[in-house]
Structure 1
Amino acid sequence: MLPQIQDPQHIAPADARELTKVFLLRLDALEEGTHEYQYVRNTLVEMNLTLVRYVARRFSGHRACAEDMLQVGTIGLIKAIDRYDVSRSVESTTLAVPYIQGEIKRFFRDTTWSVRVPRRLQELRIDLARAREQLEGQGIHKPTVSDLAAHLDLDQAEVSEGLVAAHGYDSDSIDRPIQASSSKQQTGFVADLIGTEDPALALAEDIQALKPHLAELDDRDRTVLELRFGAEMTQSEIGKELGLSQMHVSRLITRICTHLREEMLATN
């Protein structure tokens, strides 16, 4: 029996790490959608919010609201919990931290840059900001390009490129009203002129890329995927349909999805 935790968010970090191992093992044995599954999953998230705050503090130099960073970092934590494989004997934090960092970085990349620049330069901007703070703390009030390059052990040309790219971080508010040049009256907002990306386009690309890898699966694996993600059947329902245990179905789905993910990453 799992312990009933009254206030998961206030557990000491050391205790949270030990309890996380126990709860992850239990989560792996439960069927999705059950009351106990939701309790275990939600408790895992709450117990590890301290880890999200720890990672978010590393990005404290950004203008973004701390609450926004906690929210997107929590999304990364949830993804890590859902994708954790207990059979690999890997510390949960080893998987969770990259997921949390990835979601926060994606948040900055997608919402705070007014000009799209390569990810390498976006990350370099963060390094430059930290280097400037450190050098200013050492008494160098206006660090030059050469100062920053020496501090980061980079070429001056690369530092200059990063400083230029950093100008793409700021922009005017999209809530700024548009004014007609003649009447000087408001005719709308800048946001009204911005188009949106159709998420179906990226999905269509992913489906086309996935097709050849699906074709390589055997009949049983394709059937399991079709029942789980096409017919949206539970693991128990799939087990009854195919004459397998729920645990066996869970392992099959994990193995198949891991294989497809690796194949997709290998071809990108």
Structure 2
Amino acid sequence: MVPTTTVQTAGQTGQTLGVPEIADPAKVAPRDARELSKVFFDQLAVLEEGTPEFQYARNTLIEMNMSLVRFAAGRFRSREPEEMEDIVQVGMIGLIKAIDRFELSREVEFTSFAVPYIVGEIKRFFRDTTWAVHVPRRLQEARVQLARATDELRSRLGRTPTVKELSDLMSLPEDEVREARLAANGYNSSSLDATINNSEDGESVLQDFIGTEDTALELVEDFHTLAPLIAELPERDRQIIHLRFVEELTQAQIGEHLGVSQMHVSRLLSRTLARLREGMLT
């Protein structure tokens, strides 16, 4: 759920401001709201931000133009009812941004200025919340561009386009096209318990077909068991183990490093490994 946007009408009356006093701005007809909005925007331009008068004019504008949010949200009426509540709330954020940024000097109708803000806020909401996993926004936008380019080239060529063909059409490097393809996999997800019909085995679940045995996983337990055994070894034996299995020196090189013969290193290493093996098995 998105944060709820609330609008409270200030106690200051419209008469004091030199604008019409409106008992219930939310019930003003859209046609009347267009004309009244010009009056309130004109007043808003000369009021000091943060004053009760400013808040009254701004909140009245918001409530009068809520029909624009309902109009824009209507484009997404196919969504679930609970989603529509979020859509309207997000649209209200777009409306408030439009009111705060609108200037009468633009010589454009407020409705024409506000609707793109409202729709843009709703689309941004979908882009940021409908992905199964989080991916950077540039890749979210590239996914849409990639889908359009793929459909266009598939229709034109009669086959699936290559990365180079997509790269040329999208004016993007081939690496970014590949990255967008990979990111598109994050848009939808499936439950590991999702049922899959298998003609041979009947019904199976998705988790039966993904993942492999991690043979290295068993080493984790071995390392946990081995660590205290190595810690108990004498300093020279620990050093030999380190030189042989961490630095990967030969027995002859270890002998030179310690000033002993290769044969002596071999005996010490065999004795130490036998001790560790015995400790692992007990």
What is the TM-score of this pair, normalised by structure 1? 0.47
Structure with greater contact order relative to length (CA < 8 Å, sep ≥ 6): 1
